Amino acid sequence: MIMQTQHLNMAAVDNHSAELLVILVPAGQTGFPSQAYPPSLETLIEHYKKMGDWHSESKYLLCINPPEFKALRILLVNTNLDIVKADAKRISNVVTDVLEQLNQAKADIVMPPSLPGGELLIQALFHASYKFSDYKTKTSRREEISVALLVSDDSLDESLDYARALHNGMSRTRDLANMPGNLCTPGYFAECALALDEQFATISTDVLDEAQLTELGMGAYLAVGRGSVHPGCMPVIRYVGAEPEEPAIWVIGKGVTFDSGGITLKKPPGMQSMIYDMCGGASVIGLMAAVAELKLPVNVTGVIATAENMPDGDAFRPGDILTTMSGQTVEIISTDAEGRLVLCDAITYAKQHQPALIIDVATLTGAQIVSLGSHASGLMGNSPQLNQALQQAGDESGDRAWTMPVWPDYQDALDSPFADMRNAGSQSPGMITAGCYLARFAGNTPWAHLDIAGTSFQYGTGNSATGRPLPLLLQFLRNYSNLSAPQWSINTDACGFLP
């Protein structure tokens, strides 16, 4: 979507030429309070009120060839005075649906000054315009939608820049996540990470290959990809927006490009959804692009923990004992609990680079879907302040997360008779057990884990990537860049990590 602002004297909106002029009006009323619209608009709306077409329950009304207006069509859209996320979604869907119905590609939207929720509306308009460029050879590509936001001052400029960067980042994330496993491989992730390096002067990318990962001792990470013909790798993407010596925020995304379950093979129904097991990695690519586009004054390092999990003669198997980069050993109970194996070594790698904090993002457990569904990501971590800051960013951006406990009481589920721990519990709450596992690697570095299994895509449907949790992560970094000396204290009693 192309979106721009255009200055307009609202009292002369009847003199504005447009194919489709969108005006936000509370249902049944004749204008937006405190908005200096011309009398011709009130006359027009009064006319439709008398006809009974515009009333207190109206969702929208399309007025063709409105008299005294230069616009060819006016779309009245019912709005609340304070736009919340649900309103923003509804309004943007009405606008895009009407455009499609009219076979038009351009809308001019009158934005009332100081409209609460204006930023949410802009974000929703961008979101509604997303189309996945699929792989059908015969497509009828529609013209790209273009929106002019008619404004009376510059107060929306920052919101628009932010929404555009968020949308561009989310589109990259959704495109990547929707790609099938035969095309989106670990090597393709590496290409995307290197493309960011090409595109932005503030980004530099290194791709660690299998030999380098072996050298680092990443025994858990490398085991996951052993059954795949696609070699594993680990792209590390550095963005420098603050002083170079400032510690970076490390964001690690699980990028399992296809998760068959490995030797612990998944059941066929729904297995095609496992192309989405790389949504965490895809959100790291989108996040780094958005941060660089916004030139946020923070240092951020993105890591994609990527591999393909397949069954094969060389695949790792249940019962294997792996040595992680941290030196801790892990008994494999299920090769389908593989995300935590790539993540634990990536976390240890991040820890060695003195990060300000670590956030990992992963479609980690089906238990997250059972617990929180598609409404909130599962949030776990070792710093109450960091949990709180992330949960707040989720509330502010409409991309919610809910803090789950990782008390020491839950750690027993990971006891192994042979190794330091096992990679999965039995009869234990799976989302929390996975968080407890990762806590053992984060140790005393501020760390948070987002389980996005239910929020980043819709299980069982195609082209369903949502682009979450990019709104939350970008909002967190936006807030973080405004903090002078953020301190994230660790609560070892609460998270139960083993020193």
Binding site for Zn ion (CB under 5 A): 259, 336, 338
Catalytic site residue from 49, 85, 106, 266: 266
Query: Which of 362, 436 has the CB closer to Zn ion?
Result: 362
Within 277-365, residue ranges assigned H as helices are 279-294, 339-351
Q: How many Å separate Cα 437 from the centre of its chain?
A: 24
As measured in angstroms, the least distance from the Cβ of 423 to Zn ion is: 10
Q: Is 59 a catalytic residue?
A: no
Shorter beta-carbon distance to Zn ion: residue 333 or 498: 333
User: Smaller CB distance to Zn ion: residue 264 or 387?
Assistant: 264
CB-side neighbour CA atoms (13 Å) of 3: 27
Instruction: Decide if 340 is catalytic.
Output: yes
- CA 156 to CA 149: how far, in whole Å? 9
Q: Which uninterrupted H or E stretch holds 307?
A: strand 299-309
Short-list 387, 428, 394, CA closest to 411: 428
Contact 76, 115 (CB under 8 A): no
Cβ-contact 99, 142 below 8 angstroms: no
Q: How far apart are CA 93 and CA 423, in angstroms?
A: 44
CB of 175 or CB of 338, closer to Zn ion: 338
65, burial (CB in 10 Å: exposed 0-12, middle 13-18, buried 19+): exposed
CB of 145 to Zn ion, least distance (A): 38
Nearest residue to Zn ion by CB is 336
Query: Closest separation between CB of residue 336 and Zn ion, Å?
Result: 4
Q: Check 90, 226, 340, 351 and give the catalytic one.
A: 340
Which one-letter amino acid corresponds to residue 426?
S
Closer residue to Zn ion, CB minimum distance, 224 or 248: 224
Q: Least distance (Å) from Zn ion to the CB of residue 196?
A: 27
| Distance separating alpha carbons of residues 450 and 468, to the nearest angstrom | 11
Q: Residues for the chain: how many in total?
A: 499
Q: In whole angstroms, how close is the CB of 261 to Zn ion at the nearest point?
A: 6
Which sequence positions are flagged as catalytic?
A: 266, 340
